[in-house]
Amino acid sequence: MKGTSVEKKKKKKRAHGEGSIYQRKNGLWTASIQIGTDESGKPIIKYFYSKEQKEVVNKLNEFKLLRAQGFDKLTSTTLKDYITSWLVNVKFYELKPSSYDRLESTINNQIIPRLGFYKLDVKNELTASIIQTELINKMFAEGYSHSSIKKAYNALNGCLKYASKNRQILFNPMETVVMPSETKFEKKEIKILTDDEIKRFEEACTVKHKNGELVFKIGYGFILILYTGIRMAEALALKWSDVDLENKTIKIDSSVVMVKNRKANDNAPKNILIEQDSTKTQKSKRTIKLCKKAYNSLVELNKIFNYDKDDYIFQTRNKTPIRPRNLQNTFDTILARANIEHKGIHSLRHTFASMLFKKKVDVKHVSEILGHADVRITYQTYIHLIQEQKDSVIDLLDEE
């Protein structure tokens, strides 16, 4: 019949990688797109489904846009798997062993138990709101310190920033997560020795048996720590080669710490003592001028141990560094003998700082002597001592 033939419309063929959209017999709209080929050369197809054509079109277009920007690499990976991989394959090669141990502990004890099951993908299932409520706020409610919460915040932020930079997630949700203000936390009072306790402590450190031998062979070592303010890890790494008696200085450029034994077997210890050729921070590397008591303590220690150049100041009979726990045990015994309540060795560092403040030493100089990374740390740590010294200066105005 003339004019009755109808020309069939040709279906426009989509270009490779553009994808296709069709409706199944059950009415479900489907979008598909080839995203690669397997080892045999067979196409790998990704599918999207919806009851509405418009929605499935949007899903396909969104995926193509994200894929063009490189955001389709990470799919259905849990935070637990991703952050563990980041820890082992990235941070292990960046951090000192002691720092790596701390990061691993934070991830395993704080982050994974609370957030590990959430998926990281282009949709960012792990939102800022979830992180805020289930990690940061919960840790605060459970009484964790500001320092502990900050460690968890920094660890997760570092991991997600890495994922974002590698275009594996759209953005880093940590950018809008808020840390609790430090004012919300109860400030722990630092423990220092009083003037009377300092006197009793020095006497206990240098007490002798009836035969004239020292009760504590390493007793003068604690006096050295007290009058230099060095950290325990720095003290344990201190060698005679770091001592300059002529110029009355000691050089601090390394630390001795206990770390997890990564090569441990059934018979090996879980933790080992290592020397790190670095200090806590870059500014912790410093040369400290010795006061008379610090200088004399080193002279006395050398009389006892007759050090060779590479000997540790705090050494065992085998000339290895004393283990931190053993040094603390000796310190505890000395405190008990001096009738002083239990304190950590770090209290000697705090006491040294307090002595400097009493001598009206500027906080900036105190910070440099202690090897703090920033003067703000000194302010935050010793704010009460600093305020006391300011008050005492004002009180001078009232003296006649």
Over its length of 400 residues, how does the chain's per-residue pLDDT go in tens digits?
444 444 434 444 444 456 789 999 888 999 988 877 777 888 888 888 898 999 989 888 877 777 766 655 545 689 999 999 999 999 999 999 999 999 999 999 999 999 999 988 766 689 999 999 999 999 999 999 999 999 999 999 999 999 888 878 878 999 999 999 988 988 888 899 999 999 999 999 999 999 989 999 999 999 999 999 999 999 999 999 999 999 999 999 999 999 999 886 777 788 899 998 876 667 789 999 999 999 999 999 999 999 999 999 999 999 999 999 999 999 999 999 999 999 999 999 999 999 999 998 999 999 999 999 889 888 888 888 877 776 665 555 555 5
What whole-number distance in Å separates Cα of residue 323 and Cα of residue 119?
42
| Burial label, 304 (beta-carbon count in 10 A; 0-12, 13-18, 19+) | middle
Query: Does domain 195-394 bear CATH number 1.10.443.10?
Result: yes
pLDDT of residue 400: 53
Using an 8 Å Cβ cutoff, are 190 and 350 in contact?
Answer: yes
Question: For the chain, what is the radius of gyration of the CA atoms?
Answer: 32
CA distances from 142 to 130, 134, 151 (A): 17, 11, 15
DSSP conformation letters of 126-164: S-HHHHIIIIIHHHHHTT--HHHHHHHHHHHHHHHHHHH
What residue type is assigned to position 265 of the chain?
A: N
Cβ atoms within 10 Å, residue 122: 19
Sorted by where each begins, the domain ranges of the chain are 20-68, 77-184, 195-394
Summarize pLDDT for 183-242 with one digit per residue, the tens. Answer: 898 888 889 999 999 999 999 999 999 998 999 999 999 999 999 999 999 999 999 999
Report d(CA 83, CA 396) in Å as an integer. 57
Topology of 77-184 in CATH? DNA polymerase; domain 1 (1.10.150)
List the structure tokens of 102.
Answer: 């701390």
- Structure confidence by residue, pLDDT tens digits, 160-179: 999 888 878 878 999 999 99
Give residue-wise pLDDT tens across range 98-108: 999 999 999 99
* Coil vs helix vs strand at 378: helix
The predicted structure's pLDDT at residue 141 = 96
Of 277, 224, 218, 280, whose CA–CA distance to 250 is shortest?
A: 224
The dihedral through the CA atoms of 191, 192, 197, 199 has a sign that is positive
Verdict on whether the full-model pTM lies above 0.85:
no
